């Protein structure tokens, strides 16, 4: 596996770098970003937090807007941010912002024309970690987090691969995609009309039958314009409370769906993961 370094910027004593590689899972070139804190070296490997971004985003949004690099440098935590979907002229797309390129929803598509490229679940949980761990000075200890569509992806990844991650967190996640407009549109396109196939990518559905899960932190802004119709946090909270699950759901008055919200509480999330990764 060869990867091409596209950029490198020193930041808080560490390095933020972008890379391009050919993905065998997605059948197209893919870009990702990695922040390596100053503690990372060939003699000292560091754990990794994988960050999954939301609709319309790329690897750049979180790295540039969240204010996470200063905290990661202090903690000794690497951060990896993949793109949100396969991309390219040969990759299927849709005119709408909530389907196609930029809107992979972190699922393995089974319906044409999406099934040849849109296998983001396997990319995030299998192919990309293998590349990261074989290329950079990191351990195999990892946690996962995300925002909105990426919060959905992080929760589902952690629930289905609980042995792979130490902890999970999310900002404003699409918690119940099987019952919201964004989710119904994407899941029916990528997976077909059989709603039974949707369950494996729905955090609320996955949690209904569970009595245990990874340590989890969820932050939600109360002034989020998508809160009621799209995110379904109330449903998530109800399942969590009924099953006594170790998921801390925090609500914040006045905050919306933007990176202003993420930047306000990102230190809490990185510290939460650092504790479960043994850094604190």
Question: What is the 3-state secondary structure of the chain?
Answer: CCEEEEEEEEECCEEEEEEEEEECCCCEEEEEEEEECCCCECCECEEEEEEECCCCCCCHHHHHHCCCHHHHHHHCCEEEEECCCCCCCCCCCCCCCCCECCECCCCECCCCCHHHCCEHHHHHHHHHHHHHHHHCCEEEEEEEEEECHHHHHHHHHHHHCCCCCCCEEEECCCCCHHHCHHHHHHHHHHHCCCHHHCHHHCHHHHHHCCCCCCCEEEEEECCCCCHHHHHCHHHHHHHHHHHCCCEEEEEECCCCCCHHHHHHHHHHHHHHHHHHCCCC
Q: Catalytic residue at 257?
A: yes
Residue of 16, 257, 269, 273 marked catalytic? 257
Residue of 148, 167, 169, 172 marked catalytic? 148
Q: Catalytic residue at 224?
A: yes
Q: Catalytic residue at 89?
A: no
Residue of 59, 143, 224, 269 marked catalytic? 224
Write out the catalytic residue numbers: 148, 224, 257
């Amino acid at each position: 596996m060869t990867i091409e370094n596209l950029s490198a910027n020193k930041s808080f004593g560490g390095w933020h770098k972008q890379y391009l590689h050919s993905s065998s899972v997605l059948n197209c070139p893919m870009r990702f970003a990695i922040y390596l804190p100053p503690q990372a070296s060939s003699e000292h490997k560091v754990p990794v937090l994988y960050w999954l971004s939301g609709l319309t985003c790329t690897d750049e949004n979180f790295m540039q807007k969240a204010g996470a690099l200063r905290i990661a440098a202090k903690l000794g935590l690497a951060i990896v941010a993949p793109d949100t979907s396969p991309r390219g002229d040969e990759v299927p797309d849709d005119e709408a912002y909530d389907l196609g390129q930029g809107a992979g929803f972190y699922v393995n598509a089974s319906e044409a024309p999406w099934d040849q490229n849109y296998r983001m679940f396997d990319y995030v949980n299998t192919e990309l970690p293998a590349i990261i761990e074989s290329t950079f000075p990191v351990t195999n200890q990892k946690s996962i987090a995300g925002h909105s569509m990426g919060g959905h992806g992080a929760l589902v990844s952690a629930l289905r691969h609980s042995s792979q991650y130490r902890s999970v967190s999310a900002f404003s996640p699409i918690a119940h995609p099987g019952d919201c407009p964004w989710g119904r549109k994407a899941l029916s396109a990528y997976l077909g009309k059989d709603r039974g196939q949707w369950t494996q990518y729905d955090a609320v559905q996955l949690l209904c039958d569970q009595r245990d899960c990874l340590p989890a932190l969820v932050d939600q802004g109360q002034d989020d314009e998508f809160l009621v119709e799209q995110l379904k946090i109330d449903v998530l909270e109800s399942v969590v409370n009924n099953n006594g699950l170790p998921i801390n759901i925090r609500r914040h008055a006045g905050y919306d769906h933007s990176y202003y919200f993420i930047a306000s509480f990102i230190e809490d999330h990185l510290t939460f993961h650092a504790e479960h990764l043994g850094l604190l």
